[in-house]
C-alpha cells in the first residue's frame, strides 16, 4: 500500500506470486496455441491479464480461449486512442482555432496495456469460471480498414456487443448475422464514441468542473491532503 492508504487497513494480502504464476501459465498456453498471433501482453500481478492479438487471429483467439475454459462472455467494445481534439476547459485545439491563437502541439497518441499501433483497438473480455480469471483481449484495427471477423458464432452474446461497437465506432464485423443499429436511429450520422465526435452539450456550455481545479481560497497550502 502506498502512503495514500489509511494507516489502519489490515486486509490480508493475496498470495500475489502464486496468482501471477497462474496467469503466466495461461498466457504461455495461449501463446503456444495461437502461435505468432499474440503481439503483446501485460500481466498485473494477482489482478488481470491483457493479451493483444493480430487481427488475422482475432476469431481464432476466441476459439482458443473458449477451448481453454474461458466460456463466459463478458463484453466486447473498443477504444479510440486519439487524444480528444475537444477539451473540457475550452482551451482545446478547436477553441484556439476559433479564437485565432496559434495551435498547441498535439498530444501524442499513447496506447494502454499490451501496447498498440493503431488509433482504434477492439477490446473484449472473457472469463473462466473454473479458473476464476478473466482475459482482456485487444486487437489493432488499421484506420483504412476498420473491420474484424465476428465473434458471434463463437460467443452468441457478442452479437449485440458488435452491433453497439459498429454504430458507436464505425467498425464492420464480417459475417455478423444481424448488423442493424442497437441504440441509434437508423438515419443517425456519425459514430458517437469516436474521440473526434463532439459532445455538443459540452461545447455549448463550458465544463462545470473547471472551478474545482483552481485551489479554493485559503486551502491552497493544504492542497493534496484530505479533509
Partner 1 sequence: MTTVSDPQSVAALVAEANDNRVNLDFETEGMTLNMGPQHPATHGTLRIIARLDGEQVISAEPMCGYMHRGYEKLTEVRTYPQINALINRIDWLGSFANEVPFILAAEKLMDVEAPPRAQWIRTILFEMSRVANISLFLGDFGLQLGGMTAGFYAFRDREWVLNQIESATGGRFHPNFDRIGGLKDDLPKGWIEESHTAMDKLLAFCDEMEDLLVGNEIFQGRTRGIGVIPAEIALSYGLSGANLRASGVDWDLRRDNCPPGLVYDKADWKVWTHPDGDCFARTWVRLQETREAAKIVKQLLDTIPSGPVMAKVPRIIKVPAGEAYVATENPLGEMGYYVVSKGDLVPFRVKIRSASFNNISVLPWVARGAYVPDLISILGSLYFILGDIDR
Footprint on this chain of partner 1 (rule: CB under 8 A): 1-2, 4-6, 8-11, 47-48, 50, 71-75, 77, 79-80, 84, 88, 110, 112-113, 123, 125, 129, 132, 134, 136, 155-157, 159-160, 168, 181-185, 192-193, 195, 197, 199, 202, 207, 209, 212-213, 219, 223-227
Judged by beta carbon, residue 99 or residue 213, the one nearer partner 1 is 213
One DSSP character per residue, 32-83 reads HHHGGGEEEEEEETTTEEEEEE-GGGHHHHHHHHHHTT--EEEEEEEEE-SP
Judged by beta carbon, residue 10 or residue 174, the one nearer partner 1 is 10
Judged by beta carbon, residue 36 or residue 207, the one nearer partner 1 is 207
Helix residue ranges per DSSP H, the chain: 16-34, 58-67, 93-99, 158-169, 200-204, 210-213
Minimum distance, C-beta of residue 218 to partner 1, in the bound complex (Å) = 13
Taking a C-beta distance cutoff of 8 angstroms, is the pair 114, 51 a contact? yes
Minimum distance, C-beta of residue 219 to partner 1, in the bound complex (Å) = 7
Minimum distance, C-beta of residue 58 to partner 1, in the bound complex (Å) = 18
Minimum distance, C-beta of residue 165 to partner 1, in the bound complex (Å) = 10
The rounded distance, in Å, linking the Cα atoms of 51 and 143 is: 21
Taking a C-beta distance cutoff of 8 angstroms, is the pair 33, 121 a contact? no
Amino acid at each position: 500500500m502506498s502512503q495514500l492508504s489509511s494507516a489502519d487497513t489490515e486486509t490480508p494480502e493475496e498470495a500475489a506470486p502464486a496468482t501471477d504464476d497462474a496467469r503466466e501459465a495461461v498466457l504461455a498456453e495461449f501463446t503456444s496455441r495461437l502461435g505468432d498471433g499474440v503481439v503483446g501482453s501485460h500481466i498485473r500481478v494477482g489482478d488481470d491479464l491483457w493479451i493483444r492479438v493480430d487481427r488475422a487471429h482475432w476469431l481464432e483467439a476466441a476459439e482458443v480461449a473458449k477451448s481453454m475454459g474461458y466460456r463466459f462472455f463478458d463484453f466486447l467494445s473498443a477504444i479510440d486512442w486519439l487524444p480528444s481534439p475537444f477539451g473540457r476547459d475550452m482551451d482545446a485545439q478547436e477553441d484556439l482555432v476559433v479564437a485565432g491563437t496559434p495551435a498547441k502541439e498535439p498530444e501524442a497518441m499513447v496506447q494502454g496495456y499490451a501496447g498498440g499501433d493503431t488509433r482504434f483497438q477492439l477490446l473484449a473480455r472473457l472469463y473462466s469460471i473454473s479458473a476464476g480469471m478473466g482475459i482482456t483481449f485487444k486487437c489493432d484495427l488499421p484506420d483504412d480498414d476498420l473491420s474484424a471477423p465476428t465473434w458471434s458464432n463463437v460467443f452468441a452474446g457478442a452479437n449485440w456487443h458488435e452491433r453497439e461497437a459498429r454504430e458507436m465506432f464505425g467498425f464492420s464485423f464480417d459475417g455478423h448475422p444481424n448488423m442493424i443499429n442497437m441504440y441509434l436511429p437508423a438515419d443517425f450520422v456519425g459514430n458517437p464514441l469516436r474521440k473526434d465526435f463532439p459532445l455538443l452539450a459540452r461545447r455549448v456550455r463550458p465544463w462545470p468542473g473547471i472551478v474545482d481545479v483552481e485551489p479554493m481560497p485559503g486551502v491552497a497550502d493544504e492542497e493534496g491532503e484530505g479533509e
